[in-house]
Amino acid sequence: MFILSNLSIPEKRKIPAKKSGILGVLSRMWAQKDLQAMAIPGVIWMIIFNFIPMYFIIIAFMRYNVAKGVLNSKWVGFDNFIEFFTDERFWLVMKDTFGLNILRLLVGFPIPIIFALLLNELLSTRFKRFVQTVSYLPHFLSWIIVGGIMYNWLSDSGLITTLLVNMGILKEPIHLIGTPQYFWGILITSETWKEIGWNAIIYIAAISGIDPSLFEAAVIDGAGRFRRVWNVILPSIKGTVAVLLVLNIGNLLGSNFDQLFVFYKPVLYDVIDVIDIYAYRLGIENGRLSYATAVGLFRSVFAFLLLYTANRASKKLTDTSLV
């Protein structure tokens, strides 16, 4: 028979309270010193290339002179912005920027999702890995290489042009890549081909994280492949889709400058003159650094507003947001 009074009950271990303020932050950083050491190079890179250059945004409000420097250049206020808004090419630039990027969003955004869904349905693991590897490879090619391929294939004597003529789609050989009415289609097709595998990675990862019991329950209920995709996979990855859609909407004023610069030529000015190319032409080629900075600042502010609006809409509609 045990006598409770003789039992020695160990005292409850006290958990030290978390320190607050700067000491708490430093304490947690020291406890995670290995992880912090891995993050430091990225933080330094961001400070050097993202934060320090923000100081020079002020030249958007100046008539910047390289010889005089930032401190001695003339302050002109919003004159550079007013000049941009009243430029005769302003609406053409906005049309090209929004038109091209909206088409990119409508075509290039859903295709990686469809590709990931199709890839998930492959039964052979070896063949699935082969398709994944092949689809990733174009991402690692520079746009210089891809541009060279496009120029060779789409010239008046190129492979694709010759094939289209032999099929009767084209009446005579033409330089497709130098023809404005075909240029947006070429841009979107080449970018989709290059990035489809890479952009599908995050969707494949999201699909692989779905609870297998959901698929088992769907099979027991008699759901076919299409119903499993519609009722199990898509609802499970909608958060991922929503976040990436928000990011893409926030980039509607951005452009793939590397791709556009490869195909950049005067004959295509009316269809390629997006904000990035316009700022490059005025800022670098014409030496108007203040004007180009004002154009870039306008683009950044407008992109932030788009991102904020899309994020709020996503929070209300899908209960998913960036923050």
User: Are residues 137 and 38 part of one domain?
Assistant: no
Q: Is 122 part of any domain?
A: yes
One domain, residues 97 and 209: yes
Same domain, 173 and 143: yes
Say how far apart CA 202 and CA 104 lie, in whole Å: 19
238 and 181 within one domain: yes
pLDDT of residue 158: 82
| Same-domain status, 67 and 92 | no
- Is the sign of the CA dihedral 282, 284, 287, 290 positive or negative? positive
Provide the terminal-to-terminal Cα distance of the chain, rounded to the nearest Å.
60
The helix (H) or strand (E) run that includes residue 101 is helix 90-108
Query: In this structure, is residue 7 part of a structural domain?
Result: no
Q: How many domains does the chain have?
A: 2
For residues 100 and 248, membership in a common domain is answered with: yes
State the Cα–Cα distance between residues 76 and 74, nearest whole angstrom: 6
Residues 53 and 135 grouped into a single domain: no
pLDDT per position as a tens digit, 233-284: 888 898 889 989 998 988 888 878 888 888 888 888 888 889 999 998 888 8
29 shares its domain with 129: no
Residue 47 amino acid letter: I
Please tell me the distance from the alpha carbon of residue 56 to that of residue 43, in angstroms, as a whole number. Answer: 20
Tokens of 247: 């990011």
Q: Residue 4: inside a domain, yes or no?
A: no
* Residues 30 and 179 reside in one and the same domain: no
Q: Is residue 15 part of a domain?
A: no
Q: Residue for token digits 């990931």?
A: 116
Amino acid found at 100: L
**13 located within any domain:** no
Tokens linked to 41: 């190079």
- Does residue 323 belong to any structural domain of this protein? no
Distance CA 75, CA 63 (A): 6
Distance, CA of 271 to CA of 19 (rounded, Å) = 58
CA 138, CA 266: separation in Å to the nearest integer? 28
Same domain, 60 and 162: no
In a domain, 5, yes or no: no
CB 58 within 8 A of CB 285: no
- pLDDT tens per residue across all 323 residues of the chain: 444 444 444 454 544 455 567 887 888 888 888 888 888 899 999 999 988 888 889 999 999 888 888 888 889 999 999 999 999 989 999 999 999 999 999 998 999 999 999 998 888 889 988 998 899 899 999 999 998 888 888 888 888 888 888 888 888 888 888 888 888 988 999 999 999 999 999 999 999 888 888 888 888 888 888 888 888 888 889 888 998 999 898 888 887 888 888 888 888 888 888 999 999 888 888 888 999 999 999 999 999 999 999 989 888 888 777 77
Q: What domain range includes position 99?
A: 87-318
User: What are 75's strand-pairing partners?
Assistant: 62
3-state secondary structure of 158: coil
Q: Is residue 175 one of the residues assigned to a domain?
A: yes
Over the Cα atoms of the chain, what is R_g?
A: 27
Tell me, what CATH number does 298's domain have? 1.10.3720.10
pLDDT tens digits for range 201-226: 999 999 988 888 888 888 888 888 88
221 — phi, psi (to 5°)?
A: -75, 0
Half-sphere exposure of 317 (CA within 13 A, CB side): 13
Q: What's the CA angle centered on 205, arms 194 and 257, to 5 degrees?
A: 30
| 30 and 121 assigned to the same domain | no
Are 120 and 225 contained in the same domain? Answer: yes
